[in-house]
Amino acid sequence: MFGYYLDLALRSLRRNRVLTALMVLAIAVGIGAAMTTLTVMHILSGNPLPGRSAQLFYAQVDGDPMPHGGNHREPPDMLDYQSATDLWTAHRADRQALIVDSQLKATAPQSNKPALMLTMLATTTDFFPMFAVPFQYGGAWTAQDDTQRARVAVISANLNDKLFGGENSVGRTLRLRDSDVRIVGVLKPWRPAPQFYTVAGGRFANGDTAGYFGRPEDVFVPFRSALEINDGAFQPFNCWGQPSAPGHLQNAPCNWIGLWVELGSHAKVAAYREFLDHYAQQQKALGRFQHAETRLRDLMGWLDFNHAVPRNARLQTWLAFAFLGICLFNTVGLLLAKFLRRAGEFGVRRALGASRRAVFAQCVAEAALIGFIGGVGGWLLSLLGLWLVRRQPTPYADLAHLDGGMFFLTFALAVVVSVLAGALPALRASRVPPALQLKVL
């Protein structure tokens, strides 16, 4: 019967080309707008490390010794140097990584390329296996390199292309500021979205969190080595006193370092939370902390806490679906007019023995066909919309692509919307009294 209903739908669409074009256009425009914004939201709000995010946690303790109003407050998003290194050297997690970035000048002595201003990430060797960072050449430095402050580095594929033409540059020298480091690894193209490991302070940024979707750093250097190489160039997150010198933060009253830990079981998560609490209580007893507040949020909880998805992307998604709703109501009106104009045809079918269910199915099949055609138009408009997004001056613009899942969702949404739009008109058409229509005919 479906083939029969499809044939009837095709005949009907050909008879009313203008009305058909209006319905298809309404659905296509609504689907195109909705899928463009939904695709952007899908990219921005997705899990950057599926399958691993539930084991990754961001640690916080409140090292600010200044008194605050109230009994409870959120700890700062970053740690002071002593707290960060105390927690890291305790080795209470399966893996752990210190995180802080800074700007510096980089050159390749073997290359005639001009100097570049880059972002350097000071971290520890666990960073790479924790976050499943892919390597094209070489690998990460060792734990011994961390403790011995070795002059080694891992560079991005982008920097490798710029300085070495994409060749295997492992073993070559890179000059960072005034220090030479040996390249031990080159990453494959890697673009976590968002750049979760540097997310901090988003709830204070008036919703402007698009910067979390920029490109990763070009140079990764052992934490303590980086502090020596780029001494004085690190920026504090917040301070409760005046640093002795700008950028020299090892002994400064400032928070500026992030700590990520990997915990493979619920028991380990509970044990690490207890460890954080004991550490904070101990530091409070020593007089270094005024508060003993701690937090341990998993990766997705941390992104949610910092409102990592840009607020304007959420607003645009709601507006696009509101527009889709308007298109849906317009389609309902057009389908209702179309089906009621065919009341005589349906009356004849009913008189010849067709049931109300058969007439209803015929109308719904026609609405579904309109939705499928509208889905094709919506898919093309989505591609156009995403192309326009990629031309926008936003850090996440180049991420806007329609993947396979969103491609199929486009057509599914178009058909569902059209069937919903056609349900009421189809029900109305199936309830037309056949005797009345035959009398008119």
Tokens 């790479």, residue located: 128
- Where is average pLDDT lowest: 46-60, 164-178, 269-283, 323-337? 323-337
Predicted confidence band at 4 (pLDDT cuts at 50, 70, 90)? low
- Are the C-beta atoms of residues 363 and 420 closer than 8 Å to each other? no
Query: Which pLDDT score, from 0 to 100, does residue 206 have?
Result: 46
Write out pLDDT tens, residues 190-217.
988 888 998 887 544 444 555 677 788 9
pLDDT at 354 over 80: no
- Average pLDDT across the chain, whole number: 84
d(C-alpha 32, C-alpha 182), whole Å: 50
Instruction: Please give the pLDDT value at position 426.
Output: 78
**Which pTM value belongs to this model?**
0.78
* Rg, Å, the chain Cα set: 30
Average pLDDT estimate for 70-99: 89
- The CA distance from 325 to 395, in Å, is 30
Distances (CA, A) of 439 to 154, 158, 271, 342, 350: 85, 77, 82, 15, 13
Burial of residue 51 (number of CB atoms within 10 Å: 0-12, 13-18, 19+): exposed
